[in-house]
Amino acid sequence: MTNPGAATAVWHGTVPDIPVRQQGPAAVVLRLAIVVGLVAGWAQLAQMPASASLDELFSDLQRGVVTRITLDRPAPDSATSGELPVQWEGSWRPGRASYSYESEYVGSRVTVQVDEAARIRAAAERSPAPVEIVEVTGGLYESGTTWFLHGIAWFGALLVLVGGPQPRLATKWAWFWLMYLVPPTALALVALEPVPLWRGDARWRARRLTGGWALLIGLVGAGVLSETAFGTLFR
């Protein structure tokens, strides 16, 4: 007969203090592949422009950390209205925002009413560090399909969590909230659960982290992460 007290204990995260062995070679290889995919994905994201605002560009220019600005400009002799992209380099990850541009035909000539590129050039001239300004026409618009290695690897970690054995350090719900709110914890999941990749066995914790506490920790961790340079990877 099942002990109701034992069932309640398991529901609240208590697990028996017994050893658990490393999974088979195929599972270990899969986890290693996900680790490589996460790290490579973060490296890929670090090279891609992060969504930002013009205020952030002006702030970076004032601090002298911008080395190059690329402005997407309208085609010559064409009337255009809307938002045009601008990218900048210099900090550890490039930034990308939009600036306003409006023009119209007056007779046979194009007259510009609004062009925030002038503000950007003026801020670049006031920057304490030299800034190179490059103008292109349509060259900042992305086309085709971009494969985000981090997203693919993160999804692989989620499948490992859902389809794999019970984790040793936290419940599955706990790991889900941590991964969802603080994406880098996916690396901890595949490296540590249910046995660290560098070990042959481990022992269950007497009590695992549960979903409610993990949600609270994740919310705090997400706020802290957003204030760090690493947090810009997940914009």
Return the pLDDT at 178. 94
CA distance 147 to 151: 8
Nearest to 66, CA basis, from 87, 47, 85, 91: 91
CA distance 176 to 203: 22
Nearest to 209, CA basis, from 161, 168, 180: 168
pLDDT tens-digit profile of 25-79? 899 999 999 999 999 988 888 777 788 888 989 999 998 989 999 998 887 777 7
pLDDT tens-digit profile of 109-165? 767 788 888 999 999 999 999 999 998 887 666 554 556 788 899 999 999 999 988
Residue limits of CATH 3.30.720.210 in the chain: 50-136
Return all residues near 104 (Cβ < 8 A) that are at least 6 apart: 79, 81, 110, 111, 113
Q: Biggest alpha carbon distance in the chain?
A: 91
| CATH topology classification for 50-136 | 3.30.720
The pTM score is 0.66
Nearest to 28, CA basis, from 200, 202, 159, 171: 200
CA distance 175 to 154: 12
Fill in the DSSP letter of residue 168. Answer: S
